[in-house]
Amino acid sequence: MNLNEHCPEKVVSAEEAVSKIKGGSRVFVGTGCGEPQHLIKAMVGNIMLQDIIVYQMLSSTFSQFVDDEFFLRRFSLKLFFISAYMRKAAFEGKIDYIPSYLSYIPKLFYSHRIGLDVALIQVSPPDRFGYCSLGVSVDITRAGMANAKLVIAQVNPRMPRTRGDSFVHMDDINYFVLHEEPLVEALPGTKDDEIAKRIGHYVSQLVDDGATLQIGFGHLPNSILQYLDRKKNLGIHTQLITDSFIPLIEKKVITGRKKTLIPGRIVASLCMGSEKLYQYVDDNPVFYFRSSEYVNAQRIIARNDNMISISSALEVDLTGQICTDSVGYMFYSGIGDQVDFLRGSAMSKGGFAIIALPSTAQNGNVSRIVSHLSEGAGVATTRGDVNFVVTEYGIAELQGKGISQRVMELAQIAHPKFREELIAVAKKRHYIFADQLPPSQDDLLFLEGYKSTLRLKNGKIAEFRPLLPSDEFASRNFFYSLQEETIYYRFFYRMKLFSHEVIQQQWASVDYKKNMSIIGLVQSRGHKEIMAIGSYAMEDETRAEAAFVVREDFQGMGIASYLLEVLEKIAKENNYRGFSATVLRENSAMIHVFKKQYPSAKVLMEGGGDITILMDFDEA
């Protein structure tokens, strides 16, 4: 539809359009890469405009003016999220940050808690029915223009026409400014790819085929996407679409076939990236754009089964508190969509949230896992909302765990050089036992090679991995789930207590080389529990003593035999040539396991009720 033919009285120059803005007006400006750059520059260039308050979520064009004192005397910028372009201005106090959950911002406009006089937006040219598209910026833009008395639209043929609830009729716009220009591009900067790769490796372990994902703002969450390229039938329900999604869509990794809400469609409200991305979303029916009050509503998010939220943070303290919007007293970004999706995913059937962050900042000199948040740091996400925290050193699971367990989980994934200090502070604050041993200061990435899975006879999938300090509580629960006879066969006496001191002794000796313990876990009611432990301990330079215990309901499924094979492989890597085992004479099942694997094993009869079995690896 030709606007000059259908409504020539509405088509004006940018200068004439902004002249309609009165002094003292409250002006909403479209978001991020969808912001109307030409209109913004025209408004700033009109020196008659004074005492203007600007509301915007993500801003870039205004960064060209925030160092101008004349501009700052005329305009007051109020931002719901601080972009990288505006960070310096935020540190210098030149803008005003409004903390708010993204899902709540439209309500601020509709309730007139934040009143608006003018909305400056950018749209595509109208179609033959008179509908323009908000394109890459639906988010809070629809609410902004719906509650403004005067709506001025920059009509840009480069703005994509996006599907969904992105359309506004020309009758709802007061003035049109026809101006073509490239959209703002938001390309990720170069980061440490090795750290992102390691974090992506751990995140991929938590994401199952068929899950629906939300990817938060920032370089790291988006870089994680490339490490999910072996998944199948992922769905997307997220605030922001970036270039990182395109390869997974083209590889058919993202299909949305398993989504329970709007299957087959990628639900989003904002798009930021390159010109390639903008062309990709243009009239692409796979994308379904909705406003933030829909996309970010917790009740809507929860309608996606197996919803997984992946976002980042600046700091995580040892109790699980998350800071995302400030570095100390300096406002750095914003609350954004994190809390909306953390709580929405927690309400989802099978859903959960992941906070992913590098373990350090400032070239490795500062830990991001901290004993307490920095002075002035804001708690964007409470300790009650956090489930998984992932760094390049592993996964911490916090949901349902006490402070002492959280301390051990988080210290374990901190950078090795900060672990001992974190444990010391935790002891001083009485978060953990005074005799608690710190996690190993080694980089334990090599333990990933010791993880495996086994399909059991009952159809369940068992996971096997090395025992970690954070498994103390789970180990305790495992012990007390065992029957008296099983405990007697393992420890040779009727052991009644499996205390903190006993557990400390057990894993304190595990160095993952000369001494090793492997645990078997199964899924039970939404969490994993230990059902078997196999260990070897150094006897001499060439031989280690092996021992196993399997919970009764999992005995007879080949688990002990499997653990024996796993431990043999690890022991060989550490230059052992054989195992020994001390077994009660009546423990025929365990004797059978050893002799089946090592037919030439030597059985030494002792004077008491036990025997010693010597097994050589080269005779297996």
Q: Is pLDDT larger for residue 469 or for residue 546?
A: 546
What per-residue confidence (pLDDT) applies to 504? Answer: 64
Residues 483-496 have a mean pLDDT of: 64
Domain covering 193-428 in this structure, CATH number:
3.40.1080.20
| Arithmetic mean of pLDDT over the chain | 91
pLDDT score of 133 more than 90:
yes
Q: What percent of the chain has pLDDT over 90?
A: 75
Give φ, ψ of 612 to 5 degrees.
Answer: -115, 130
Residues 205-233 have a mean pLDDT of: 91
Beta strands in 266-422 (DSSP E): 266-268, 270-271, 287-289, 307-311, 315-317, 322-323, 326-327, 330-331, 352-356, 360-361, 366-367, 369-370, 388-391, 394-397
pLDDT score of 288 more than 60:
yes
Task: Determine which of 216-225, 399-408, 484-493 has the lowest per-residue pLDDT on average.
Answer: 484-493
CA distance 122 to 135: 8
Q: Is pLDDT larger for residue 230 or for residue 499?
A: 230
CATH match for 451-619 among 3.40.50.300, 3.30.230.10, 3.40.50.11720, 3.40.630.30: 3.40.630.30
The pLDDT tens digits for 258-283 are 999 999 999 999 999 999 999 999 99
What per-residue confidence (pLDDT) applies to 584? Answer: 87
Residues 182-205 have a mean pLDDT of: 85
What per-residue confidence (pLDDT) applies to 221? Answer: 81
pLDDT score of 182 more than 60:
yes
What per-residue confidence (pLDDT) applies to 481? Answer: 82
| pLDDT bracket for residue 433 (50, 70, 90) | confident
Residues 34-59 have a mean pLDDT of: 97
The pTM of the full predicted model, rounded to 2 decimals, is: 0.88
pLDDT score of 208 more than 80:
yes
- Per the structure block, which two tokens stand in for 271? 């798009």
Task: Determine which of 108-117, 146-155, 196-205, 439-448 has the lowest per-residue pLDDT on average.
Answer: 439-448
- Residue corresponding to tokens 């203007």: 52
Other residues' Cβ atoms within 10 Å of the Cβ of residue 207: 18
Task: Determine which of 166-170, 266-270, 552-556 has the lowest per-residue pLDDT on average.
Answer: 552-556
What per-residue confidence (pLDDT) applies to 442? Answer: 83
What DSSP state is assigned to residue 415?
-
Residues 538-559 have a mean pLDDT of: 93
Please list the residues that pair with 215 across neighbouring strands: 310
Residues 512-520 have a mean pLDDT of: 93
Please indicate whether the domains covering 3-178 and 451-619 agree at the CATH topology level: no
Structural domain spans, the chain: 3-178, 193-428, 451-619
pLDDT score of 356 more than 90:
yes
Residues 114-128 have a mean pLDDT of: 97
Beta strands in 269-402 (DSSP E): 270-271, 287-289, 307-311, 315-317, 322-323, 326-327, 330-331, 352-356, 360-361, 366-367, 369-370, 388-391, 394-397
pLDDT score of 183 more than 80:
yes
What radius of gyration, in Å, describes the C-alpha atoms of the chain?
30
Q: What percent of the chain has pLDDT over 70?
A: 95
What per-residue confidence (pLDDT) applies to 492? Answer: 47
Task: Specify the CATH class of 3-178 in words.
Answer: alpha beta
Residues 175-186 have a mean pLDDT of: 96
- State how far the alpha carbon of 603 is from the alpha carbons of 490, 599, 609, 611, 614, in Å: 18, 11, 13, 7, 7
Residues 456-460 have a mean pLDDT of: 83
What per-residue confidence (pLDDT) applies to 498? Answer: 58
